Chain A
Amino acid sequence: MSTTLSATRIADDAFEFAVSDPKEAQALAAHLREAKMADDVVAGLNRVAVYFDPSATEDISAWLQTIEYAPRPNDTEARMIEIGVTYGGEVGADLARVCEMLDLARDDFIGLHTATVHHVDMIGFTPGFSYLSGVPKEWSISRLGTPRPRVAAGAVGLSAAYTGIYALPGPGGWPLIGQIDRPLFSADLEDPFLLKPGQQVRFRAV
């Protein structure tokens, strides 16, 4: 089945498509990136934006009007990665409060979080920051009223039914539940990103 999509202009040098979910966003973004017409193609959770140089000779808007896209499976989807997490502790300082809000014992929370198959819905904000879906929709915890001035690299947060992993040290507003056991982003490696959109993740308590 093929769908004709329409792009909205969100700036003099950017267009955007609205899509229904992160999977579709990632697949459409990959498809648009392959054409190498734009400087950047960025997927949000349900948006895909195309950023371009308006003085380039190619007519981007004419190209975008021709986009007929048939969703297809993402080829990274099948790959599952297991990542160790230290739940609680110094980095996961909000674990007790999160458990209280969800009305779960600490061990039950950890049991559920590690039993879940998480899905990398989006990489964004800063290099490597990963948004993982998978926890129940009811785990819709709000962000901290005042963001922390400094969150450690590898910190694992939980907010709005997403598990988020901080790739870089810096300020952050997600309630924190733990820390992963390896770097998410290493600029010097040939493949600097541990996670890719579409990948599946399982956490193991360490």
Chain B
Amino acid sequence: MLRVLKAGMQTTLQGRPRISWRHMGLPASGPADPLSMALANRLVGNAPYETSLEISYGGFEARIEEACVIAITGAPGEVKVSDHPVDLHRTLHLNKGDSISIGPPAFGVRTYLAVSSGFQADEQFGSRSTYLPAGFGGFGGRALKAGDLLYPKKPPCPLAECKTPDHLRPVFSSSFALRACASAEFRSLASASQKTLFQETFITGRQATRMGITLTGHTLNAENDSLMKSAPVFPGTLQCPPSGAPIALLADAQTTGGYPRIASIARCDRYLLGQIRPGNRIRLLPRSPDMAEREFVEKRALFSEWFQGRFVF
């Protein structure tokens, strides 16, 4: 059992994305960086989408009130157990009375804390993931606050300590190269803007949430079709609003939108969106959908032995 002492800017419980409800307006939710969350779960013997803590920008502290086994991955904030620094990406056995703190990361946004067996959480629409705008899933549908108690689903059982192999640890910096495919309304971009999209470096704007990230630095000209009707959008969709600053959608993305859908961040790199912070540099690398699909299969193959073939992201 963990008692939250400091919750940080935004800490939520996230599990499996919510699928099969988008047609009623329900976003996917789930981890903004599913790869990092899966890596944390792997170190404590869980399935990849077992419910874990997603901690944005660190500032998290908790007291251990019953022995538990945890692991921490994702954005590399300084982690201390009872004031002793410990590494990310390893199994940690904590005892009653220990404290754990996660400092603000120098790079990336979201740090994941998994506990063996997973955290207890509210299930709604087939998923335990928190969706804050509607206030359901996770911990009563809200972000955690100081004083909240988090219970693992089961008491800990003996677990071999392990570490994520070095070559499988994602490394975050202030620059991101994301593979992307042209999408339904790519041709609504003026030809110069079509080139800009895939040749220039964008800067992340101040809007960088679980719903979306704004890309600034270059203004795109899209044919301003005020008659374009609301059409489906998904995590990864890149929309171009009239301002010309495209928006990349994340896990909590709305289900439909009326702006041109100019591109889609390829599934193989989509987990990186969860680690991009305001001011970071972003390059989009053009891919055909077939190529992006092959690269996704290759990336999964890289992780399949470590995840025993169980990871889908």
Across the two chains, which residue of chain A brings its CB closest to B185?
A: A10
- Do residues A185 and B184 form an inter-chain contact, with CB atoms below 8 A? no
Kindly state the interface size class of chain A when it binds its partner.
35 or more
- Do residues A8 and B184 form an inter-chain contact, with CB atoms below 8 A? yes
Chain B residues with Cβ below 8 Å from A53 are 312
- Within 8 Å by CB of A42, from B22, B136, B184, B266, lies B22
| Cα distance A124–B21 in the bound complex, in angstroms | 10
- Do residues A126 and B134 form an inter-chain contact, with CB atoms below 8 A? yes
Within the complex, the shortest CB–CB distance from B214 to chain A, in Å, comes to 15
Known contacts being A11-B234, A12-B296, A54-B267, is A43 close to B133, with CB within 8 Å? Answer: no
| Cα distance A122–B229 in the bound complex, in angstroms | 11
- Do residues A49 and B234 form an inter-chain contact, with CB atoms below 8 A? yes
Stretch in B50-58, B110-118, B256-264 touching the partner: B256-264
Please provide the chain B residues from 289 to 312 with a CB less than 8 Å away from any CB of chain A in the complex.
289, 292-293, 296-297, 300, 312
Q: Does A16 contact B (CB under 8 A)?
A: yes
- Within 8 Å by CB of A12, from B19, B141, B229, B267, lies B267
- Do residues A131 and B230 form an inter-chain contact, with CB atoms below 8 A? yes
- Do residues B24 and A55 form an inter-chain contact, with CB atoms below 8 A? no
- Do residues A12 and B134 form an inter-chain contact, with CB atoms below 8 A? no
Please provide the chain A residues from 111 to 126 with a CB less than 8 Å away from any CB of chain B in the complex.
122-126
Q: Does B280 contact A (CB under 8 A)?
A: no
Across the two chains, which residue of chain B brings its CB closest to A44?
A: B231
Chain B residues with Cβ below 8 Å from A167 are 25
Chain B residues with Cβ below 8 Å from A187 are 124-125, 134-136, 141
Within the complex, the shortest CB–CB distance from A34 to chain B, in Å, comes to 12
- Within 8 Å by CB of A13, from B27, B267, B300, lies B267
Within the complex, the shortest CB–CB distance from A151 to chain B, in Å, comes to 12
Q: Does A88 contact B (CB under 8 A)?
A: no
Chain A residues with Cβ below 8 Å from B27 are 126-127
- Do residues A12 and B264 form an inter-chain contact, with CB atoms below 8 A? yes
- Within 8 Å by CB of A54, from B24, B125, B296, lies B296
Q: Does A135 contact B (CB under 8 A)?
A: no
Contacts between the two chains (Cβ within 8 Å), count: 131
Within the complex, the shortest CB–CB distance from B11 to chain A, in Å, comes to 21
- Do residues B24 and A123 form an inter-chain contact, with CB atoms below 8 A? yes
| Cα distance A42–B133 in the bound complex, in angstroms | 20
Within the complex, the shortest CB–CB distance from A95 to chain B, in Å, comes to 23
Across the two chains, which residue of chain A brings its CB closest to B312?
A: A53
Known contacts being A11-B181, A54-B293, A187-B124, is A123 close to B23, with CB within 8 Å? Answer: yes
- Do residues A40 and B256 form an inter-chain contact, with CB atoms below 8 A? no
Please provide the chain B residues from 113 to 143 with a CB less than 8 Å away from any CB of chain A in the complex.
124-125, 133-136, 141
Please provide the chain B residues from 1 to 24 with a CB less than 8 Å away from any CB of chain A in the complex.
19-24
By a beta-carbon cutoff of 8 Å, the part of chain B in contact with chain A is: 19-27, 124-125, 133-136, 141, 181, 183-184, 226, 229-232, 234, 236-237, 254-257, 261, 264, 266-268, 287, 289, 292-293, 296-297, 300, 312
Q: List 30 A-B contacts (CB under 8 A).
A: A10-B184, A10-B264, A11-B264, A11-B289, A12-B181, A12-B264, A12-B293, A12-B296, A14-B234, A33-B23, A39-B19, A39-B20, A40-B22, A40-B234, A42-B22, A42-B232, A43-B23, A43-B232, A46-B229, A47-B229, A54-B293, A54-B296, A55-B297, A122-B256, A124-B23, A126-B27, A127-B24, A127-B26, A168-B134, A170-B133
The 10 residue pairs across chains A and B that have the minimum distance between CB atoms: A124-B256, A11-B264, A49-B232, A44-B231, A12-B292, A45-B229, A42-B232, A40-B22, A187-B136, A39-B19
